[in-house]
Amino acid sequence: MPIKVQSDLPAREILETENIFLMDEIRATHQDIRPLSIGILNLMPLKEDTELQLLRSLSNTPLQLDITFITVSSHQSKNTSRSHINQFYQTFEEVKDRYFDGLIITGAPLEQMEYEEVDFWPEMCQIFAWTDTHVTSTLHLCWGAQAGLYYYYGLKKYMLPEKLFGVFEHHVMNRKVPLVRGFDDDFMAPHSRHTEVRLADIKAVPGFTVLAESDEAGFFLGMAGKGRRIFVMGHPEYDRVTLDIEYKRDKQKGLPIRLPVNYYPQDDVTKRPRLQWRSHGNILYSNWLNYYVYQDTPYGFTNRNF
């Protein structure tokens, strides 16, 4: 898939070495098509890592994407340089009058805080409300999924006895829905979180369809509004070494952390982690783009009948 990004985005050079087709603004203007406008509200502290992971995940269909990275203005990142954010990101205030075919709301390391304690929560509420009139389909990831379930349906999150950390088996619950088309009956996906939204609470929401769940990790994938809102509780976009980096970081800080489940061969941290979720992660993002963004979005950006 050709993905339109700024020519000097640091992730671009890495993706090009992986033969992922990227184009800059000049080449994109010579394409006689309208690319899909995809916003990425990146709430993760290491924004460049998340940029790379998500652009990889979005690169597996022939659709052309025009990517806009978005940040909140009511919080200043401490782990990504201000120059990077100023150069490659726009604030919600700057994009709120635009229409997007798709929007991704990432996770954030805030799950142990109450939503109302998060400094940018009022801005998040504005963004959730804005998506109802300005975005064809919104994909909520991890904390973004928990926050969306709380905002739209009032579903509370609950602390887990210990961090849910590793790669877990999941089961497809409704394979007639296009979002899981091409999935096997059972598949693996990473989780890294301290809280959960209980599966029973989610299943009680009228009009909500649970598409995948895990005996160990609980809710993984579901949607409402015929795909206008999609919720993913794990991290199908993670790279092979993401959990490895998290584990070694927490160990170095002296934080209570167990080995990630089903990750290192023979639970040996010196061995290369097993990559067991990439194919289903790619299918998930491709299905979202194809069935809930591309096929449902009008050609024009404005005057949409949501």
Do strands 158-172 and 89-91 pair parallel, antiparallel, or not at all (unpaired)? Answer: unpaired
Contact 91, 75 (CB under 8 A): no
Catalytic-role residue among 111, 134, 140, 142: 142
Both tokens of residue 61? 């269909």
Residue ranges of alpha helices (H) inside 96-231 are 121-134, 143-153, 199-203
Query: Cα separation of 234 and 74, whole Å?
Result: 26
C-alpha of 17 from chain center: 23
Amino acid at 220: F
Catalytic residue among 48, 111, 196, 237: 237
| Cα separation, 240 vs 273, whole angstroms | 7
What is the distance between the alpha carbons of residues 297 and 66, in angstroms, rounded to a whole number?
Answer: 14
Query: Is residue 3 a contact partner of residue 25, using CB atoms and an 8 Å limit?
Result: no
Q: Which amino acid is at 296?
A: D
Active-site residue flag, 142? yes
Which tokens hold the place of 287? Answer: 């299905």
Query: Residues 134, 191, 235, 280: which is the catalytic one?
Result: 235
What are the start-end ranges of the H helices in the chain?
10-17, 25-28, 47-57, 82-88, 92-95, 121-134, 143-153, 199-203, 242-253, 278-287
Q: Distance between CA 104 and CA 28 in Å, rounded?
A: 22
Residue with the two structure tokens 């994109």: 28
User: Is residue 237 annotated as a catalytic residue, yes or no?
Assistant: yes
Active site residues: 142, 235, 237
